[in-house]
Structure 1
Amino acid sequence: MSDLASLKPDLIVHGTKPFNAEPPLSRLRAAFVTDVADFYVRSHGDVPDLDRDLHKVRVVGQVAAPLALSLADLQARFATKRVAAVLQCAGNRRADLQAVERTSGDAWAPGAIGHAEWTGVALADVLHAAGAAVGAGLHVAFEGADIAENEGAPDAPFGVSIPLKKALTGDVLLAWAMNGAALTREHGAPLRVVVPGYAGVRSTKWIREIRVQDHPSTAFQQAQDYLLFPPDMRAETHDPSRGTAIAEMPLNAAICEPAAGATLPKGRTVVRGYAIATDRAVARVDVSADGGREWRQATIEPRGNGPWSWTFWNTVLDITEGEHDLVVRAWDAAGQTQPARPEDVWNFKGYLSAAWHRVRVMAV
Structure 2
Amino acid sequence: MEPALPVFSQAEVSKHGSLEAGVWVTFRGGVYDIGEFVAMHPGGTRSCWRREGPWSPSGRLCELEMDPEDQARQRAVEPSDPYSGDPQRHPVLRVNSAKPFNAEPPPSLLGDSYITPSAIFFKRNHLPVPRVDPASYRLRVEGLPRPLSLSLADLKGRFPKHTVTATLQCAGNRRSEMNAVKQVKGLNWGIAAIGNATWSGALLRDVLREGGWGPEAAAVAGGGARHVQFEGLDADASGTTYGASIPLNKALSEEGDVLLAYQMNGEDLPADHGYPLRVVVPGTVGARNVKWLGKVIVSREESASHWQQNDYKGFSPGTDWDTVDFKSAPAIQELPVQSAITQPADGAVLERDADGEVTVRGYAWSGGGREVVRVDVSLDGGKTWQVARLREGDGEGEEQGEAPPPPPPPGRAWAWKLWEVGAPLPPGEQQVEIVCKAVDNSYNMQPDSVAPIWNLRGVLSNAWHRVRVTVRED
User: When the two structures are superposed, what TM-score results if normalisation uses the length of structure 1?
Assistant: 0.95
Deviations 1:313-341 (A, max 9, x none): 10011245221111000111122211000
- Whether contact under 8 Å (2:85, 2:129) holds in the other structure is no
Deviations 1:18-41 (A, max 9, x none): 100011011111110111111001
Whether 1:291 aligns to 2:373 is no
- Mapping 1:36-185, distance limit 5 Å: 36-61=118-143, 63-132=144-213, 133-134=217-218, 138-147=226-235, 156-170=240-254, 171-185=257-271
- Whether contact under 8 Å (1:257, 1:272) holds in the other structure is yes
Deviations 1:57-81 (A, max 9, x none): 10012x1111111111111111111
Query: Could you tell me how far apart the structure 1 residues matched to 2:140 and 2:471 are?
Result: 58
1:226 match: secondary structure: coil
Which of 1 and 2 has higher RCO (CA within 8 Å, sep 6+)? 1
| Letter paired with 1:185 | A
Instruction: Name the residue aligned to 2:439.
Output: 331
| Letter paired with 1:201 | A
With 330-339 and 296-305 compared, the bigger mean Cα shift is at 296-305
Question: 1:101 Cα shift?
Answer: 0.6
Judged with a 3 Å threshold, the aligned counterparts in structure 2 of structure 1 residues 314 and 136 are, in CA distance, closer, same or farther, namely farther
Instruction: Name the residue aligned to 1:357.
Output: 465
- Mapping 1:271-350, distance limit 5 Å: 271-278=360-367, 279-303=369-393, 304=405, 306=408, 307-320=413-426, 321-350=429-458
| Letter paired with 2:169 | Q
| Letter paired with 2:326 | P
1:228 match: secondary structure: coil
Judged with a 3 Å threshold, the aligned counterparts in structure 2 of structure 1 residues 148 and 201 are, in CA distance, closer, same or farther, namely farther
Instruction: Name the residue aligned to 2:53.
Output: none
- Whether contact under 8 Å (1:137, 1:163) holds in the other structure is no
- Whether contact under 8 Å (1:5, 1:19) holds in the other structure is no
Query: Could you tell me how far apart the structure 2 residues matched to 1:214 and 1:77 are?
Result: 28
Judged with a 3 Å threshold, the aligned counterparts in structure 2 of structure 1 residues 317 and 234 are, in CA distance, closer, same or farther, namely same
Query: Could you tell me how far apart the structure 2 residues matched to 1:29 and 1:258 are?
Result: 11
Query: Could you tell me how far apart the structure 2 residues matched to 1:264 and 1:5 are?
Result: 38
With 278-287 and 28-37 compared, the bigger mean Cα shift is at 278-287
The 4+ residue runs of structure 1 with deviation greater than 4 A are: 1-6
Deviations 1:219-258 (A, max 9, x none): 1010111111222212243211222210001101000000
Question: 1:363 Cα shift?
Answer: 1.5
Deviations 1:129-169 (A, max 9, x none): 112342665110000001259xxxx7721111011100112
2:346 match: secondary structure: coil
Instruction: Name the residue aligned to 2:310.
Output: 224
Aligned-pair identity (%): 44
2:232 match: secondary structure: strand
Match of 2:358 among 257, 269, 291: 269
- Root-mean-square deviation (CA), in Å? 1.7
| Letter paired with 1:144 | G
Query: Could you tell me how far apart the structure 1 residues matched to 2:416 and 2:298 are?
Result: 31
Q: Where does structure 1 lack aligned partners over 5 or more consecutive residues?
A: none
- Whether contact under 8 Å (2:87, 2:271) holds in the other structure is no
Q: Where does structure 2 lack aligned partners over 5 or more consecutive residues?
A: 1-82, 394-404
| Letter paired with 1:161 | S
Judged with a 3 Å threshold, the aligned counterparts in structure 2 of structure 1 residues 2 and 271 are, in CA distance, closer, same or farther, namely farther
Query: Could you tell me how far apart the structure 2 residues matched to 1:194 and 1:22 are?
Result: 19
Query: Could you tell me how far apart the structure 1 residues matched to 2:135 and 2:450 are?
Result: 47
Flag the structure with larger Rg: 2
Query: Could you tell me how far apart the structure 2 residues matched to 1:180 and 1:232 are?
Result: 45
Judged with a 3 Å threshold, the aligned counterparts in structure 2 of structure 1 residues 243 and 155 are, in CA distance, closer, same or farther, namely farther
Query: Could you tell me how far apart the structure 2 residues matched to 1:105 and 1:2 are?
Result: 23
| Letter paired with 1:30 | D
1:329 match: secondary structure: strand
Query: Could you tell me how far apart the structure 2 residues matched to 1:29 and 1:202 are?
Result: 24
Aligned residues: 359
Deviations 1:80-118 (A, max 9, x none): 111110111011111111111111111111101111110
- Whether contact under 8 Å (1:230, 1:243) holds in the other structure is no
Whether 1:255 aligns to 2:341 is yes
| Letter paired with 2:443 | G
- Whether contact under 8 Å (2:122, 2:192) holds in the other structure is yes
Judged with a 3 Å threshold, the aligned counterparts in structure 2 of structure 1 residues 2 and 353 are, in CA distance, closer, same or farther, namely farther
Question: 1:4 Cα shift?
Answer: 5.2
